[in-house]
A and B are shown apart, each in its own frame.
Chain A
Amino acid sequence: MKATGTKVIIETLIEQGCDTVFGYPGGAVLNIYDELYRNSDKIHHVISAHEQGAAHAADAYARVTGKAGVVIATSGPGATNLVTGIANAYLDSSPIVAITGNVALPLLGKDSFQEVDITGITMPITKHNYIVKDVNELADVIREAFKIAQSGRPGPVLIDVPKDVQTAVCDFENKKPEKMERICSVTEKQLEQVAKLISESERPYIYCGGGVVISQAGEEIEKLAAKIDSPIGFSMMGLSAVSADNPYWLGMTGMHGRYASTKANSEADLIIAAGVRFSDRATGNKSRYTQYAKVVHIDIDPAEIDKNISAYFGLIGDVKTVLTKLLAKLEKKTHTQWMDKIQQMRIQEGIQFVKDGVMHPKDIIEKVMEYTDENTIVATDVGQHQMWVAQYYRFKKPRTYLTSGGLGTMGFGMGAAIGGCFASGCKKTVLFTGDGSFGMNLNEMATAVSNNLPLVILIFNNGVLGMVRQWQNTFYDQRYSQTTLNRKTDFVKLAEAFGATGFRVMDIKMLKEALDTAFKTQGPVVIDCSISQDEKVLPMIPPGGSIDNIITR
Chain B
Amino acid sequence: MKKGQFILSVLVANHAGVLTRISGLFSRRNFNIDSLNVAVTEDPLFSRMTIIARGDEAVQEQITKQLDKLHDVKKIELLTPEKTVLREHLLLKIKVTKKTRGEIVESVNIFRGRVVDFNLDSLTVEVTGESDKLDAFIKFVSQFGILEMCRAGALAVKRGAMADDSDK
Which residues does A use to contact B, with CB under 8 Å? 119-120, 123-124, 127-128, 131, 148, 301-303, 306-307, 310
CA–CA, A119 and B72, complex, Å: 14
Pairwise interchain contact A301-B69, C-beta atoms closer than 8 A: yes
Specify the chain A residue showing the minimal Cβ separation from B58.
A306
CB < 8 Å: which of B20, B28, B68 contacts A303?
B68
With known contacts A148-B71, A306-B58, A123–B65 Cβ distance under 8 A: no
* Chain B min CB distance to A279 (Å): 16
Q: What are the residues of chain B within 8 A of A307 when measuring CB–CB?
A: 62
CA–CA, A148 and B68, complex, Å: 14
Q: What are the residues of chain A within 8 A of B61 when measuring CB–CB?
A: 306
Q: What are the residues of chain A within 8 A of B69 when measuring CB–CB?
A: 127, 301, 303
With known contacts A124-B28, A128-B71, A302-B68, A119–B17 Cβ distance under 8 A: yes
Q: What are the residues of chain A within 8 A of B102 when measuring CB–CB?
A: none
Tell me the B58-113 residues at the A interface (CB within 8 Å). 58, 61-62, 65-66, 68-72
By CB atoms of chain B within 10 A, which of A119, A123, A301 has the most? A123
Q: What are the residues of chain B within 8 A of A124 when measuring CB–CB?
A: 24-25, 28
Q: Binary interface profile of B, 6-23, with partner A (CB < 8 Å = 1, else 0)?
A: 000000000001001100
With known contacts A119-B17, A127-B71, A128-B71, A303–B66 Cβ distance under 8 A: yes
CA–CA, A131 and B71, complex, Å: 14
CA–CA, A68 and B36, complex, Å: 36
Tell me the B37-72 residues at the A interface (CB within 8 Å). 58, 61-62, 65-66, 68-72
* Chain A min CB distance to B69 (Å): 6
* Chain A min CB distance to B149 (Å): 31
Q: What are the residues of chain B within 8 A of A301 when measuring CB–CB?
A: 69
Q: What are the residues of chain A within 8 A of B21 when measuring CB–CB?
A: 123
Pairwise interchain contact A123-B66, C-beta atoms closer than 8 A: no
Additional pairs, 5, CB under 8 Å, beyond known A127-B71, A302-B65: A120-B20, A123-B20, A128-B70, A303-B68, A306-B61
Pairwise interchain contact B62-A303, C-beta atoms closer than 8 A: yes
Specify the chain B residue showing the minimal Cβ separation from A127.
B71
Q: What are the residues of chain A within 8 A of B25 when measuring CB–CB?
A: 124
Pairwise interchain contact B65-A303, C-beta atoms closer than 8 A: yes
CA–CA, A124 and B65, complex, Å: 16
Q: What are the residues of chain A within 8 A of B20 when measuring CB–CB?
A: 120, 123
Q: What are the residues of chain A within 8 A of B68 when measuring CB–CB?
A: 302-303
Pairwise interchain contact A123-B62, C-beta atoms closer than 8 A: no
Q: What are the residues of chain B within 8 A of A128 when measuring CB–CB?
A: 70-72
CA–CA, A302 and B65, complex, Å: 7
CA–CA, A268 and B21, complex, Å: 40
Report 27 cross-chain contacts, Cβ distance below 8 Å, ordered by A residue. Answer: A119-B17, A120-B17, A120-B20, A123-B20, A123-B21, A123-B24, A124-B24, A124-B25, A124-B28, A127-B69, A127-B71, A128-B70, A128-B71, A128-B72, A131-B17, A148-B71, A301-B69, A302-B65, A303-B62, A303-B66, A303-B68, A303-B69, A306-B58, A306-B61, A306-B62, A307-B62, A310-B58
